[in-house]
Amino acid sequence: FLIGLAAAGIAQERALQLDPAQTSVKFTLGDVLHTVHGTFQLKRGTLEFAPDAGKLSGEIVVDAASGSSGSGMRDHKMNKEVLETSRYPEIVFHPDRIEGTVAAQGKSSVRVHGMFNIHGVDREITVPAEVEMSADHWNATVHFTVPYATWGMKNPSTLFLKVNDSVEIDLTAVGNVVTPSIAKTAQ
């Protein structure tokens, strides 16, 4: 009986690996003349999910220096002066819980809580997420705002160009569902 209960508990845990080739991290920064759109590249990501307990752990790691807006000069300034990627090469999210219920199959709307680290600063955040689960694949979309100046980053505005005080982030995570023991050996 106890072995059956333990096996049922383990079966409920899921490891969610992110696929860097299919996962996208997009940013949007508005200014008085136009809106800048760009992307960052996922370095790695694995999450462990215990749906019955609402627990989520692991990390999502983005390459800070991979930021690309389509303008080499703007990207160079973003890397050197705003993100300071030589000092802070990674942007990391460590989730710790999910508010709401994730369906074993199909779509769910939840909120994800955890610690977000950018530019060497950890901040507690809770973000809305749309999650779709299947037996072996999953995807999630998340939207949140980073008030970069509040978090210690330089405002990229110039004398003639004023930008918004925050940047909008859209993460579309895509990956595989695996057993937790397989995910640990893959790291």
Q: Which helix (H) or strand (E) holds 98?
A: strand 90-99
**Average pLDDT of the residues of the chain:** 88
Residue 151 — φ and ψ, nearest 5°? -95, 15
Q: Read off the pLDDT of residues 24-55 as tens digits, 9 standing for 90 and up.
A: 999 999 877 789 999 999 999 999 989 888 89
Residue 161 — φ and ψ, nearest 5°? -125, 110
Contacts of 13 (CB under 8 A, 6+ apart): 48, 49, 50, 180
pLDDT of residue 160: 74
- 38 compared with 163, residue with greater pLDDT: 38
pLDDT of residue 146: 93
Q: Read off the pLDDT of residues 67-87 as tens digits, 9 standing for 90 and up.
A: 999 999 989 999 999 999 999
- pLDDT above 90: residue 167: yes
Q: If pLDDT is split at 50, 70 and 90, which confidence band does 181 have?
A: low
pLDDT of residue 7: 38
Residue with tokens 């909120």: 111
Pull the structure tokens for residue 183. Answer: 């995910």
pLDDT of residue 12: 64
Per-residue DSSP letters for 126-138?
EEEEEEEE-SSEE
Contacts of 5 (CB under 8 A, 6+ apart): none
Segment 101-116 mean pLDDT: 95
Query: Which pTM was predicted?
Result: 0.86
Q: If pLDDT is split at 50, 70 and 90, which confidence band does 57 have?
A: very high
pLDDT of residue 161: 77
Residue percentage of the chain with pLDDT more than 90: 70
- pLDDT above 90: residue 133: yes
Pair 24, 171: CB distance under 8 Å: yes
At 67, the amino acid letter reads G
Residue 79 — φ and ψ, nearest 5°? -70, -45
- pLDDT above 50: residue 8: no
